[in-house]
A and B are shown apart, each in its own frame.
Chain A
Amino acid sequence: MSAPGSPASPAAQAWARLRARPSAMVGLAIVALVVLAAILAPLVSPYDPTLQSYATIRRPPSLAHPFGTDEVGRDILARIIWGARASLAAGLVSVLIAMAAGIPLGLAAGYLGGIVDGVISRATDAMLACPFLILAIALAAFLGPSLGNAMIAIGVTAAPLFVRLTRGQVMAIKTELYVEAARSLGIREWRIAAGQVLPNVVPQLLVQATLTIATAIIAEASLSFLGLGQQPPAPSWGSMLNSAQRFLSNAPWMAVWPGAAIFVTVLSFNLVGDGLRDALDPRAR
């Protein structure tokens, strides 16, 4: 994107359009809040998230424990705040993995065409044919249960989304005049791909990345719910929901908060992603 400061730059225009959308700004504010809570967890968390206390087992929400306590007396608010770290890290890292794998492959497929495109595209089709969560679960199961492996599993599963998007955009862009011009100047192919074609794909990639973070956060929570993500006693929203299910009849608050945290965070990322899409592509509305 162009340098900040030039008022008419496409980025500045897109930002102005994004600011005009209240839903996207609300989403952005909540995302910022969750990120802050995750970073400042040691400062803002009221208790140690792993501190067990037999005096406070399954206490309903109160002044001392606004979200209540869980089956071993841990403060749920503290676990939600610390759990934001696992969810956000998983969302971010797995999307970075997906982009690091997907964008170069998509660029190669779209730009080079021919047999390279054939192989990459069929492999992409094959991965997209496996339902997202089922493939992520299978990968995580074979890699072994840990938060790091869950991120790898989700990242690999999401990579085809970026391959397909990059490939499609590159195919559309590579026949444009300015790419032809660069080619006629004798600039090497990979420099054209990285220097001329890639920057024009950035807006779409940004939208896809934001929406994929939302998907990845749900996927991480699902894997943790199944015991394939963050390992206890470290807090994560998914594993909190898992233990909450066993105490649904006498401690429903244990299920309410982690689910609400996932929902609000995912909704916010989706709001920002939708807002970005409309802001970056005014023709879509």
Chain B
Amino acid sequence: MLGLLGRRLLQILPTLFFVSILIFGLQQLLPGDPALALAGEDKDPEVLAQIRARYHLDQPVPVQYLLWIRGVLSGDLGQSIRLNVPVADLILQKLPVTLQLAAMAMAIALAIGVTAGIVSAVAKGSWIDYLVSTLSLVGISTPNFWLGIMLIFVFAVQLGWLPASGYVSPFEDPLQSLATTILPAFVLGNAIAGVLMRHTRGAMLAALSSDYVRTARAKGLRASTVILRHAMRNALTPIITLGALEFGTLLSGAVLTEQIFTIPGFGKLIVDAVFNRDYAVVQGVVLVTATSYILLNLLADLGYVWANPRLRT
């Protein structure tokens, strides 16, 4: 297990290096004088000089990169030009909100996707299977932000059951927090539920036709026992990896969903930064999401091996 961890860590180092090149490279895309672009509307020569000094714009690009990456490695993701606070602080402040949303969304997606996948595999070829597959495709094809707007229309505007926007921390008022996050969490979860359903269905079909399930059936075990205890346990292992892979989808979805529900999380942070041309914040958000995605996949790999003793070598 430790050897595996070491090997995987060595593998992700080059990937992380390319991630840093990619994110640093974004800066090179800015048209014209980067100092002017980074300053936004502020054309004060003093500010421009500050920016040139801060980003070492007078140095050659490779030197700029080295200075930038040295900052990143010591936790300095730059300074928000608009809010004049360190990008790292902003991210730390917004991250918990998005993590709460993401966790709720994942719970909803697993509840819907895994259940639907199992039902559809057990009832393979029936109208239930067909219905579930259609619904999953509908879920995958629905634009997140449209679903969000429609849910606001139904539950906030028409019925008045839930607030249309805003966010309350669960530590302040758990019930109110649930009320402000349940719609966006559903919107986010919906996008993944369809994918989870398809994979669960595939894995369950493979498990149901395997020898050990046939043996369990031949022993005369009840159908529910065979499905839930024998087939499902093996079919669900790949879902660990899939859950980690879908984390990226969650964060992508959070961008527009948070925007629509005005939730002050990670997604809203990057959108506001884009509107304000606060490029350091945009870079910081991409860097943190990409790095956490890579680390999460590493954890998922380890979890997968941990759940499959046969893979431990």
B251 and A131 contacting across the interface, CB-CB below 8 Å: yes
What is the interface size of chain A, counting residues whose CB is below 8 A from a CB of the partner? 45
Specify which of B14, B18, B22, B149 is in contact with A259 (CB 8 Å cutoff).
Answer: B149
A126 and B290 contacting across the interface, CB-CB below 8 Å: yes
Residues in A with CB closer than 8 Å to B142 are 263
Residues in B with CB closer than 8 Å to A133 are 252-253, 255-256
B interface, size bucket: 35 or more
Q: Among the listed stretches B24-32, B46-54, B108-116, which one makes contact with chain A, having 4 or more residues with CB under 8 Å of it?
A: B24-32
Q: Do A218 and B143 contact each other (CB < 8 Å), given the known contacts A125-B18, A226-B274?
A: yes
Taking chain B's interface residues, is the majority helix, strand, or loop, or is none over half, making it mixed?
A: helix
Q: Is B249 an interface residue (CB 8 A)?
A: yes
A214 to B141, CA, bound (A): 8
A255 and B153 contacting across the interface, CB-CB below 8 Å: yes
A130 and B22 contacting across the interface, CB-CB below 8 Å: yes
Q: Is B188 an interface residue (CB 8 A)?
A: no
A248 and B146 contacting across the interface, CB-CB below 8 Å: no
Residues in A with CB closer than 8 Å to B19 are 126, 129-130
| A and B contact pairs by CB, cutoff 8 A, 21 listed | A126-B18, A129-B291, A130-B289, A130-B290, A133-B255, A133-B256, A134-B251, A135-B286, A138-B23, A141-B274, A142-B27, A143-B29, A144-B31, A218-B143, A225-B256, A226-B259, A245-B260, A252-B153, A256-B150, A259-B143, A266-B143
Report B's interface with A, CB cutoff 8 A. Answer: 14-19, 21-23, 26-27, 29-31, 137-138, 140-146, 149-150, 152-153, 157, 164, 248-249, 251-253, 255-256, 259-260, 270-271, 273-275, 277, 279, 282-283, 285-286, 289-291, 293-294
Q: A129-B293, A263-B142, A263-B146 are in contact. List 19 more A-B contacts (CB 8 A).
A: A130-B293, A131-B290, A133-B252, A134-B252, A134-B285, A134-B289, A135-B286, A138-B282, A138-B285, A141-B273, A141-B274, A141-B277, A218-B143, A226-B259, A248-B152, A248-B157, A259-B143, A262-B143, A270-B137
